[in-house]
Amino acid sequence: DLAHGVVLYLDGISVSFDGFKALNNLSLAIDAGELRCIIGPNGAGKTTMMDVITGKTRPDAGTAFFGQTIDLTKLTEAQIAHAGIGRKFQKPTIFERHTVFENLEISMKADKRVRKTLFAKLSSEEGDRIAATLGQIRLADNAKRVAGELSHGQKQWLEIGMLLMQEPKLLLLDEPVAGMSDDETERTAELFLSLAGQHSLVVVEHDMSFIARIAKKVTVLHEGSVLAEGTLDTVQSDPRVIEVYLGR
Ligand code: ADP
Question: With bands split at pLDDT 50, 70 and 90, how would you rate the model's confidence at 1?
Answer: very low
Q: What is the pLDDT of residue 105?
A: 93
200-238: pLDDT as tens digits: 999 999 999 999 999 889 999 999 999 999 999 999 999
Q: Is residue 58 part of a domain?
A: yes
Q: Name residues whose C-beta falls within 8 Å of residue 27's C-beta, 6 or more positions apart in sequence.
A: 10, 11, 12, 13, 62, 225, 226
What per-residue confidence (pLDDT) applies to 30?
A: 97
**Structural domain boundaries enclosing 24:** 1-84+205-248
The secondary element (H helix, E strand) that includes residue 244 is helix 239-246
Instruction: Kindly provide the ipTM of the predicted complex, given to two decimals.
Output: 0.95
* CATH code of the domain in which 10 resides: 3.40.50.300
Predicted confidence at residue 93, as pLDDT, reads: 87
Integer CA distances (angstroms), 28 to 15, 62, 136, 219, 246, in order: 15, 11, 29, 9, 25
What whole-number distance in Å separates Cα of residue 21 and Cα of residue 222?
A: 11
pLDDT by residue (tens digit) across 41-88?
999 999 999 999 999 999 999 999 999 899 999 999 999 999 999 999
What distance in Å separates the CA atoms of residue 160 and residue 143, rounded to the nearest whole number?
15
Ligand 1, CB within 6 Å, residue ranges: 17, 22, 40, 42-48
Element (H or E) spanning 85, and its range? strand 85-88
Residue 224 region, left (φ>0) first, then alpha (ψ -120 to 50), else beta? left
Count the neighbouring beta carbons within 10 Å of the beta carbon of residue 131: 14
Q: Identify the pLDDT of residue 115.
A: 65
CA 176, CA 237: separation in Å to the nearest integer? 25
Q: Is the pLDDT of residue 2 over 50?
A: no
For residue 200, being part of any structural domain is answered with: no
**Residue owning the nearest CA to atom 5 of ligand 1:** 45
The 10s digit of each residue's pLDDT in 157-185 is 999 999 999 999 999 999 999 999 999 99
Answer yes or no: is 67 within a domain.
yes
Which candidate, 121, 203, 120, 131, places its Cα nearest to that of 164? 131
In a domain, 219, yes or no: yes
Q: Report yes or no on 25 lying in a domain.
A: yes
DSSP reduced 3-state for 20: strand
Q: Ligand 1 pocket check: which of 23, 48, 89 to mutate, most ligand atoms within 8 Å of Cβ?
A: 48
Residue 136 placed within a domain = no
Q: Is residue 170 part of a domain?
A: no
The number of domains in the chain is: 1
- Using the atom order of ligand 1, give the atom closest to the CA of residue 41: 3
Ligand 1 pocket: which of 16, 17, 244 to mutate (most atoms within 8 A of CB): 17
Residue 189 in any domain: the answer is no
Residue 62 Cα to ligand 1 midpoint, Å, equals 18
